[in-house]
């Protein structure tokens, strides 16, 4: 007599799919339409990076209005392949919009953006009055 372990392949697979956080396309689609961002602060500026691979810099629209930085992008792609006895046409569409409310200490006039290797980078310089002041000696008076 031997003991054989049987796995019900349908039920665990179904449960794994149901328990995933992106059931019904929730988080999985969310990640595709809402690019991840890194924000870093240093003494003189904030550095903002968005991961948006597969786009060209012309695909972005960047606006600044009342301390809100808004980045939008929309891409459309169509491809038609004709083979022996059938035609296949594939298309895709993607867009996103991200908005960031900037703190009062950001110098809006000095904001710079660049796009390279799928990363959209922003340098958000701080206003002069927000920069750290050097130490100074104070003399004791009479």
> For the chain, first and last CA: distance in Å?
103
47-56, 87-96, 118-127, 129-138: range with lowest mean pLDDT = 87-96
Nearest to 93 by CA among 111, 73, 115, 77: 77
Q: Is 2 inside any structural domain?
A: no
Please give the mean pLDDT across all residues of the chain.
Answer: 79
Q: How far apart are alpha carbons 49 and 113 in whole angstroms? A: 10
Instruction: Note the pTM of the prediction, 2 decimals.
Output: 0.64
Q: Is 22 inside any structural domain?
A: no
Q: What is the pLDDT of residues 2-33, one digit of tens each?
A: 444 444 444 555 445 445 544 444 444 444 56
Q: Is 4 inside any structural domain?
A: no
CB 122 within 8 A of CB 35: no
Mean pLDDT of 63-69: 93
Q: How far apart are alpha carbons 94 and 86 in whole angstroms? A: 27
28-37, 38-47, 125-134: range with lowest mean pLDDT = 28-37
CATH number reported for the structural domain that contains residue 98 in this entry: 2.60.40.790
Q: Is 31 inside any structural domain?
A: no
Counting beta carbons within 10 angstroms of the beta carbon of residue 77, is it exposed (0 to 12), middle (13 to 18) or buried (19 or more)? Answer: exposed
CB 79 within 8 A of CB 90: yes
Residue 75 belongs to domain spanning = 36-130
Number of domains the chain is built from: 1
């Amino acid at each position: 007599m031997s003991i054989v372990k049987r796995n019900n392949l349908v039920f665990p697979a179904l449960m794994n799919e149901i328990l995933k956080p992106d059931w019904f396309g929730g988080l999985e689609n969310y990640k595709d339409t809402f690019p991840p961002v890194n924000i870093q602060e240093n003494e003189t500026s904030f550095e903002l990076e968005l991961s948006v691979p597969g786009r060209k810099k012309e695909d972005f629209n960047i606006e600044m209005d009342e301390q809100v930085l808004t980045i939008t992008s929309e891409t459309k792609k169509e491809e038609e392949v004709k083979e022996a006895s059938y035609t296949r046409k594939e298309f895709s569409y993607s867009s996103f919009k991200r908005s960031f409310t900037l703190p009062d200490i950001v110098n809006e006039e000095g904001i710079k953006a660049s796009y390279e290797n799928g990363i959209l980078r922003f340098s958000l310089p701080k206003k002069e009055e927000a920069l750290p002041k050097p130490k100074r000696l104070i003399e004791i008076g009479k």
